[in-house]
Amino acid sequence: MKKIVWILLSMLITLWATETKPHKDKRIVSHVVDTQKSTLKFYLKDDNGSIFKTFGNLNSYLKERNQELLFAMNGGMYMENSMPLGLYVENGKVIRKTNRVKKAYGNFYMQPNGVFFITEKGNAYIKPTTKFHFKKYVKFATQSGPMLLINGKFHPKFRKGSKNVHIRNGVGVLPSGKLLFAISTELINFYDFAEYFKKNGCKNALYFDGFVSKMYLPPKHDYFGYSSFGVMIAETKNKK
């Protein structure tokens, strides 16, 4: 019995250490969101059916509803009309169905790609697309690719030292269930970007996009400059 208690205590200490002393990389800016305590939602269109496209437009929309934008990031690849390239679920409604094309040009189709989703209870998950099946309890979901980490392992096509470098952003699930959002501030390859999530304890992580990617995280990254997105993921709070 004492041995079991000691093992559990050791696991808790390890978890605490991982999340209070996160691995840092000077090339990457990150933000942790606790979906059980914070308001995190996905956004695509305003009440008139117009796609937000920019953090500035989203911020104005939220201000009118007495909400403060704390953090925002583009959340997946999109087509020329700014609609998501893959699955998109908002407030439990399927806006676009899962993209099951396996062979085509682009990072999105680097198999396995994956789905990042949040349930009605606020639990967050990342799964390869082949393992994801829509259920009524899924409140938000976005499909992108490639997967960065799959059950603790690097995507099979990533290579250490690769010269394929770009600005990259993505999300991973921490051991506690919290979310680790990250974006590189300089050019980085897939392997190094995925390694950042792995060193922070993530078992599963998903790539969102490349050179168009931006993060809004004041005061250091209060970016409202023009950069057109499709889906955006944002953390907010009600103004007093």
Name the pTM for this structure: 0.89
* Residue 8's pLDDT band (cuts 50, 70, 90): low
- Per-residue pLDDT of 102-149, as tens digits, reads 889 999 999 999 999 999 999 999 999 999 999 999 999 999 999 999
Q: Which structural domain range is residue 155 located in?
A: 23-238
User: Per-residue DSSP letters for 106-161?
Assistant: SGGGSSS-EEEEEETTS-EEEEEGGG----TTEEEEEEES-EEEETTEE-TT--TT
* Count of the separate structural domains present in the chain: 1
Is 8 part of a structural domain of the chain? no
Is 174 part of a structural domain of the chain? yes
If you average pLDDT over every residue of the chain, what do you get?
Answer: 91
- Per-residue pLDDT of 15-38, as tens digits, reads 554 454 567 888 999 999 999 999
- Per-residue pLDDT of 140-174, as tens digits, reads 999 999 999 999 999 999 999 999 999 999 999 99
Is 4 part of a structural domain of the chain? no
Is 16 part of a structural domain of the chain? no
Is 11 part of a structural domain of the chain? no
Is 191 part of a structural domain of the chain? yes
Percent of the chain residues topping a pLDDT of 70: 88
Q: How far is CA 214 from CA 137, 196, 232, in A?
A: 29, 18, 10
